[in-house]
Chain A
Amino acid sequence: MRSNIFNGMEKGWVVAVRGAALSLIWIVALLFSACERTLEKDVIVDNLIYGIDTIPVYSSSAEKDKLKTTTQFISTAYSQLYLRPIPSGTLNELSLLRSAHGDKNMIGELVISHFLADEVVLASFPDEEDMQADPEAFVEQTYLRFFLRLPTAYERYALSRQIAGDSETSVLEVYRAFLLSNEYLYY
């Protein structure tokens, strides 16, 4: 059941970022040959931001202790919803927009709402029926997609239970909650 629900999403994800991955391999190669160690870390971070692979990047949330910048927050959310890197013009405009407000969470909610109102984004969502049919599989894939890690057993149990216990809960609402969570502010 799990693979039936999410295979399409995984494939699309990989295809969408293949070009970016090849570019980053070249960049990493250049940095290994010429740059200091701190720059290597930057490139690794970029890999995480653009979600190049669906395999777990973090073994636990405790590994996330750095705050995303405005640029990182917006570009990460965009790429994980649209399954492709954000155009530079859009990133610049949305970064300025976020900088122009003092409550970053409040304006972040609106930017996320803009993304989540796009038909292109909604088309990549799994079906509601599939989520309700196998909440645990949905929870695992959602953790991977947005938190880049697998849920702990209790996290999987708790969220699955919440989804199963309220038939009104939608994929959109779960995704919105992940994007607005404290963990999503960190990498």
Chain B
Amino acid sequence: MKRRDFLRNSSLASASLFTAPFILPSGRVFARSGSRLVNHVVFVLFAGGIRNQESVDQGYLSTQGAGSSGNILPNMLSGAGPGGALVHDPWVPALGSPISQQGTLFRNLRYAFGPTGHYNGHTVAMTGNYTDTGLNLNLNPDFPTVFEYYRKHSEPAPNARSCWWLSTELGPYPSLNFSRHPEYGPLYGANYLMPGYGLGEAAVQYLGGLQTLHPEEVSRVQGIKAQLDGFFNQGPAQASGVRNTDEDTRSIQQLYLDLLSGNDALELPLPDGIPSYLLSGDGANIATGWKILERFQPELVVINTTNSDVCHDNFSEYLIALHKADYAVGWLWKKIQEHPVLANDTLLICMPEHGRNLEPNGLVDANGLRAFDHTSDENSRDVFALIAGPPSVVAQGRVVGTPSSPVGESIDIVPTIAHALGFLEAIPPGMLPGRVLNEAWA
């Protein structure tokens, strides 16, 4: 029976390769759904384990008894920066007004169940289901990801190039572009890219000099391949990951080769005068995400930042990483608002995958600041979420939730995205325990 299912899915996958996208006069690949709030969602998993004390509470060094309080996330949040005794070099914000003024801030949102581990947190945020898996297993999640819901339940069915997952690290993170769920899986998965390796030094070395094949050569190779595949009783391998259409494969390869050969360049999320060696891994990930948004205008993109996890042993570097990641998010939002297709039609969601402990772990950095782990205490379950978008869609400058009365949970992001992109109603009942964060809408 399993084999039969596999063959059926494989046939569907093969058939999908020959499904030509419908190009609308506007240049959009897919028609807008009447029930959609926007046509693009960018979900920044502002991850690495972020305490509300340093984000929305704007405590800076005051919680350590070592200096002033102040806002270290000036692109995302309103509030004056710290007054003195700085451990970071403040960057001029990319935005004139913070993103929170262009959206709704869920000031206290709960990561209610399960271990506060990075992979767990990512899995919860991207599947809308809590998981008690305690290890960073290199396995695809049990529950469908937001990408699979999007591709399976949107009309007309989007192809893989319409959704992307970009991570700063490898480890288990490549497994989050599709699930092991028998009704979903790679057939509905997203494209995945880890820019550090995927477009890194080795990629330049091995792939930098390549050119895409001539269409006639592609045609002859595909003809022979089709014949070989016709004689083989296995379809495209599930383990070979998500499959793009032939046309999309060529366009994505072209993007990679353009970047690797230097024919196209990444714009870097750095303020004027800041040298490129100060670009963080988070910044590089967001820069690549922007290149993909700019080139393909996908409808659903999830990007993470993780550099703040240095907080395990260096609180000062944690603050610096937070400040840089905030700049990159602000820069991304600015780019989106300057793009003719994405501007005023994009929802931006930012949320840490989990928080960090209330009590320090005993390690002290060079500035005498104490470090924090994330071991599932109540403080590590307290996070925030920021949802920004067009004024006609998202309430502007609204703040909901307090420490004593939190609003929303981590599992609510997936249904909120599904609602915004108009496919929530098509998801079978019982798949998503969370709710739409309706407090965000105008």
Question: Do A and B truly interact?
Answer: yes
Q: Is the CB of A103 within 8 A of B160?
A: yes
B207: which of A102, A104, A114 is its contact (CB, 8 Å)?
Answer: A114
Q: Is the CB of A182 within 8 A of B227?
A: no
Q: Is the CB of A102 within 8 A of B231?
A: no
Name the segment of B59-67, B184-192, B317-325, B368-376 touching the other chain. Answer: B184-192
Contacts of B231 in A (CB 8 A): 61, 152, 154-155, 158, 183
Within 8 A of B (CB), among A164-180: 166, 168-169, 173-174, 176-178, 180
Contacts of A64 in B (CB 8 A): 232, 234
Residue of A with least CB distance to B232: A183
B90 on the A face (CB < 8 A): no
Digit string of A11-45 for contact with B (CB within 8 Å is 1, else 0)? 00000000000000000000000000000000000
Name the segment of A2-10, A49-57, A80-88, A105-113 touching the other chain. Answer: A105-113
Q: Is the CB of B234 within 8 A of A105?
A: no
Known: A105-B236, A173-B224. Contact between A100 and B252, CB under 8 A? no
Q: How far is the CB of A176 from chain B (nearest CB, A)?
A: 5
Q: Is the CB of A97 within 8 A of B197?
A: yes
Q: Is the CB of B177 within 8 A of A102?
A: yes
Q: Is the CB of A109 within 8 A of B249?
A: yes
In the bound complex, what is the Cα–Cα distance between A99 and B172 (angstroms)? 10
Digit string of B219-233 for contact with A (CB within 8 Å is 1, else 0)? 011111101110111
Residue of A with least CB distance to B208: A114
Contacts of A123 in B (CB 8 A): none
B237 on the A face (CB < 8 A): yes
Residue of A with least CB distance to B216: A168
Known: A93-B206, A152-B231, A174-B224. Contact between A110 and B165, CB under 8 A? no
Q: Is the CB of B174 within 8 A of A159?
A: no
Interface residues on B, range: 35 or more
Known: A99-B197, A177-B221, A177-B224. Contact between A105 and B202, CB under 8 A? no
A177: which of B174, B190, B225, B253 is its contact (CB, 8 Å)?
Answer: B225
Q: Is the CB of A103 within 8 A of B225?
A: no
Contacts of B112 in A (CB 8 A): none
Known: A100-B193, A102-B165, A173-B217. Contact between A180 and B206, CB under 8 A? no
Q: Give the number of residue pairs across the A-B interface with Cβ within 8 Å.
A: 150
Contacts of A183 in B (CB 8 A): 228-229, 231-232, 234
Interface residue SS majority, chain A: helix
Q: Is the CB of A61 within 8 A of B225?
A: no
Q: Is the CB of A105 within 8 A of B240?
A: yes
Contacts of A61 in B (CB 8 A): 231-233
Q: Is the CB of A182 within 8 A of B235?
A: yes
15 more CB-based (< 8 A) A-B contacts, given A67-B237, A93-B205, A100-B203 = A65-B234, A67-B239, A67-B240, A100-B198, A102-B191, A103-B192, A106-B244, A106-B252, A117-B209, A117-B210, A166-B220, A177-B224, A177-B228, A182-B235, A182-B237
Which 6 residue pairs of A and B lie closest in terms of their CB atoms, listed nearest first?
Answer: A102-B192, A100-B198, A177-B224, A100-B197, A100-B194, A181-B228
Q: List 29 A-B contacts (CB under 8 A).
A: A61-B231, A61-B232, A67-B238, A67-B240, A93-B202, A93-B205, A100-B193, A100-B197, A100-B198, A102-B165, A103-B160, A103-B191, A105-B241, A109-B249, A109-B253, A110-B256, A113-B207, A113-B210, A113-B213, A158-B227, A177-B221, A178-B224, A180-B221, A181-B229, A182-B232, A182-B236, A183-B228, A185-B239, A186-B232
